[in-house]
Amino acid sequence: MNIETKAAQLRAALNRAAHQYYTLDAPEIPDVEYDRLFQELQAIEAAHPELRTPDSPTQRVGAAVLAGFTPVRHSVPMLSIRTETDTTAAGAEKFDEQVRNHLASEQRRTELKPGDPRYRAEPLDPIAQAVLAGQPIGYVAEPKFDGLAISLRYEHGVLVQAATRGDGETGEDVTQNIRTLRQIPLVLSGEISARSLPLPLAGEGRGEGGWPIPPILEVRGEVYMRRDDFEALNERMRERMAAGDRAAKTFVNPRNAAAGAVRQLDPAIAAQRPLSFFAYGLGDITPPEAGGPDFRAHWEVLQALRAWGLPVSALARRAQGAAELAAFHADVAAERDGLPFDIDGVVYKVDSLALQRELGFVTREPRWAVAHKYPAQEQLTTVQAIDVQVGRTGKLTPVAKLAPVFVGGVTVTNATLHNELEARRKDVRVGDTVIVRRAGDVIPEVVSVLADQRPPGAPEFSMPARCPVCDSEVVREEGEADHRCTGGISCPAQRKQALLHYASRRAMDIEGLGEKLVDQLIDGRVVNSLPDLYRMGFVSLAALDRMAEKSAQNLLEALEKSKQTTLARFLYALGIRHVGETTAKDLARHFGTLDAVMAASTSQLLQTPDVGPVVAGSVHTFFEQPHNREVVEQLRAVGIYWAEGKPAPAALLPLAGKTFVLTGTLPTLSRDEAKDMLEAAGAKVSGSVSKKTSYVVAGAEAGSKLERAHALEVPVIDEDGLRALLGGGA
Ligand code: IVH
């Protein structure tokens, strides 16, 4: 292909992608692929400037205005920042050096002869001079939020307009939609500055919280959707789609869901989309001469925005010199997966506003800021096969086997397709090119298929009629999305899963009994049922493939240790359908002994708090089966033991009757740990805040749950508060 055709093809592909991304909010290629094509075109145009056409995507930024929104001309353009694709922490050093080099070249201009065209008469700002004398540069480091940029215009403290970025010069008026975000104040808090008010005194710290609100204030920031809100929204959409609602659709990622909501023409629909906001800068603002605040540093701006009632990320911090920037890059990278929202990198900004002015802009990008990206959370890959896996309860799950891709910091080779319905809805086929996403602790997912790259003749996926492991018949029960193998315990796949579940951390916690070993034990018929586990001797274990004597010994010890357990863990470990950890605890607490649970009728089981007919029926059916009773008897016979009898009446526990909701990241406790501690003290831990919630325990980056707590006036405590309630003190 000649270079001219290639460039034309790239232009067409990029323009199409930009239209899908910006105008339709429905991208078909991941950002990394867009960036790759963009760079390819840039390289061609650099080598052959004659091929640079005015319609080339390299010649413009951003989106066309969607018909239906009024255009808004930004009084101060919404610029973009230079983005380094370098995903390592080393970029900080480079940025720091670029800033210094620029200052040094400005300094050299002042040293030229006055007649020289490059001569600069005015001396450098004193801070710039201090930097040149060797002082470290003060920065502010912030996360790069993955949403869409919005400008909020406040006049005399009242929100009058919200606009998208558009092409940077002209955006869209989305005020109606933005007004529905509860995090965005319609009226700022604080005192309104009057021109007659004396100006604040110069110097640091003077304003912490005390800046008067300028008559004109444009706040720049990012509208985004939290991951949990995104998952819940897509879940709702899937339910509506299953119910035949043609207007429902799922979103590819939180950013697109957010963009779609902000640019939704019907504000009523926008209002139902859970959006959040972080402020990170200023646009137009009343100048100090006219009574506006005389900010000296970006950090002050952030503090003032927070004091006026705007959400500012708690992750933003000041950093001295490149080393502290690099440390921020590493710290945030380590936290990235656990954050409640997507970020795609970090942003470094020179803190001093005088230094920012000194540095200025290159074309449309400031020299005083740079973005450093993290590895992408979406990638393209191909589907090599669709396997069907059999779970503990016989549920069949289609799993896409992928050509390995590095995404979200790990190499992904599998992605679940959940069930037949889901596989068909996405229409994933063998040979397809797909977008894979992995964000946070969320399991990797195929988000969509590039339909135009499908190999001819690829057949649609369908579930097998017989179990791929034991060849038993596969059935799909009325009104259920799942297919099941009817082989039960005779199906080796189900036996393996049952064993893995029994050994899992929150069940019997048998360390070292992992997938590979379980495969060997079941396939080699060493273990046919749960009690067999405790009958294995050292000799049969050590005889297994790749089993060192030491590991065999460790496993035997772990098995021995697991014998001492609790009734709740044991009930959970049995893998009774619909009996999760919480239900197992409820049953153990209510009945006190295993015999009582086993002997209970369905109606007696229904007396257990929080146990409904489905669970009661399932427990009753389980213990009705002679082979299940047999397994339980044998497990007791090999020495599984727990303290029987009703535990201390729940009412006597310190937090009995109290309901807690956990949100955000606690400084030292994991969510599991906090939950265990609360439950041990008799409290219930719930996932959503209501008027009945006793306390919300909030950590860093707590979001909508915290807000709801405030709205419902539910007391909010932090980790220390929690420990105090638990009576532990420190
Ligand atoms: S500052 C002149 N700070 O990244 C500098 N931008 O090209 C203005 N973004 O679309 C931007 N997080 O919406 C800044 N902490 C942050 C940011 C951030 C995300 C977005 C912004 C813009 C792009 C910058």
pLDDT at 585: 92
pLDDT at 264: 85
Residue 327 clears pLDDT 60, i.e. is over it: yes
Among the ranges given (4-18, 139-153, 157-171, 303-317), the one the predictor scored with the smallest mean pLDDT = 4-18
Distance 146 CA to ligand 1 centre (A): 9
Strand partners, 565: 642
State whether the beta carbon of 280 lies less than 6 angstroms from ligand 1: yes
State whether the beta carbon of 347 lies less than 6 angstroms from ligand 1: yes
Confidence of residue 558 (pLDDT cuts 50, 70, 90): very high
pLDDT at 63: 45
Tell me the per-residue pLDDT of 367-391, one tens digit each, with 9 for 90 and over.
Answer: 999 999 888 888 999 999 999 999 9
Confidence of residue 266 (pLDDT cuts 50, 70, 90): confident
pLDDT at 195: 43
Q: Which atom of ligand 1 is nearest to the CA of 222?
A: 13
Residue 433 clears pLDDT 70, i.e. is over it: yes
pLDDT at 28: 80
Residue 75 clears pLDDT 80, i.e. is over it: yes
State whether the beta carbon of 142 lies less than 6 angstroms from ligand 1: yes
Distance 79 CA to ligand 1 centre (A): 8
Active site residues: 144
Q: Which atom of ligand 1 is nearest to the CA of 143?
A: 15
Give 65's DSSP letter: P
Mean pLDDT of 355-360: 96
Which of the pair, 729 or 147, is modelled with greater confidence?
A: 147
pLDDT at 126: 95
Please tell me which of 242-256, 345-359, 679-693 the model is most confident about, judged by mean pLDDT. 345-359
Distance 121 CA to ligand 1 centre (A): 33
State whether the beta carbon of 80 lies less than 6 angstroms from ligand 1: yes
Which among 144, 277, 305 is the best mutation to test ligand 1's pocket, defined by most ligand atoms within 8 Å of the CB? 144
Distance 81 CA to ligand 1 centre (A): 7
**Residue 382: enclosing H or E segment and its boundaries?**
strand 378-390
Contact 687, 719 (CB under 8 A): no
pLDDT at 719: 94
Q: Which atom of ligand 1 is nearest to the CA of 149?
A: 13
Sign of the alpha-carbon torsion through 166, 168, 174, 178 = positive
pLDDT at 576: 93
Q: Which atom of ligand 1 is nearest to the CA of 281?
A: 1
Distance 283 CA to ligand 1 centre (A): 12
State whether the beta carbon of 372 lies less than 6 angstroms from ligand 1: no
State whether the beta carbon of 695 lies less than 6 angstroms from ligand 1: no
Residue of the nearest CA to atom 10 in ligand 1? 149
State whether the beta carbon of 366 lies less than 6 angstroms from ligand 1: yes
Residue 9 clears pLDDT 60, i.e. is over it: yes
Which of the pair, 627 or 297, is modelled with greater confidence?
A: 297
Residue of the nearest CA to atom 23 in ligand 1? 80
* Sequence-ordered list of residues with C-beta below 8 angstroms from that of 623, at least 6 positions apart, any chain: 597, 598, 629, 632
Distance 221 CA to ligand 1 centre (A): 7
Tell me the per-residue pLDDT of 163-208, one tens digit each, with 9 for 90 and over.
Answer: 999 999 999 999 989 988 888 998 898 776 654 333 343 333 334 4
Residue 83 clears pLDDT 90, i.e. is over it: no
Residue of the nearest CA to atom 9 in ligand 1? 144
Q: How many residues does the chain have?
A: 730
pLDDT at 61: 46
Secondary structure E strands in 425-507: 433-437, 445-449, 474-476, 483-485
pLDDT at 481: 80
Q: Give the DSSP per-residue string, 95-149.
A: HHHHHHHHHHHHHHHHTS-TTSTT---SPPPHHHHHHHTTPPPEEEEEEEESSEE
Residue of the nearest CA to atom 18 in ligand 1? 144
The CA-CA-CA angle for residues 544, 550, 556, to 5°, reads 75
pLDDT at 650: 66
Confidence of residue 472 (pLDDT cuts 50, 70, 90): very high
pLDDT at 681: 87
Among the ranges given (45-49, 265-269, 298-302), the one the predictor scored with the smallest mean pLDDT = 265-269
State whether the beta carbon of 304 lies less than 6 angstroms from ligand 1: no
Mean pLDDT of 414-422: 90
Mean pLDDT of 535-550: 87
Between CA 39 and CA 45 the distance in angstroms is 10
pTM of the model: 0.62
Tell me the per-residue pLDDT of 639-653, one tens digit each, with 9 for 90 and over.
Answer: 999 988 765 666 778
pLDDT at 202: 37
State whether the beta carbon of 277 lies less than 6 angstroms from ligand 1: no
Residue 267 clears pLDDT 70, i.e. is over it: yes
On average, the pLDDT of the chain sits at 89
Between CA 385 and CA 407 the distance in angstroms is 19
Buried b / exposed e over 490-503, threshold 16 CB at 10 Å, is ebbbbbbbbbbbbb
SS3 of 407, please?
A: strand
Mark residue 537 as left, alpha or beta (left: phi above 0; alpha: psi -120 to 50; beta: remaining). Answer: beta
Residue closest to 380 by CA, chosen among 619, 21, 31? 31
Which of the pair, 162 or 243, is modelled with greater confidence?
A: 162
pLDDT at 672: 84
Q: What share of the chain is helix, strand, coil (3-state, %, to 5)?
A: 40, 20, 40
Sign of the alpha-carbon torsion through 125, 126, 127, 133 = positive
State whether the beta carbon of 222 lies less than 6 angstroms from ligand 1: yes
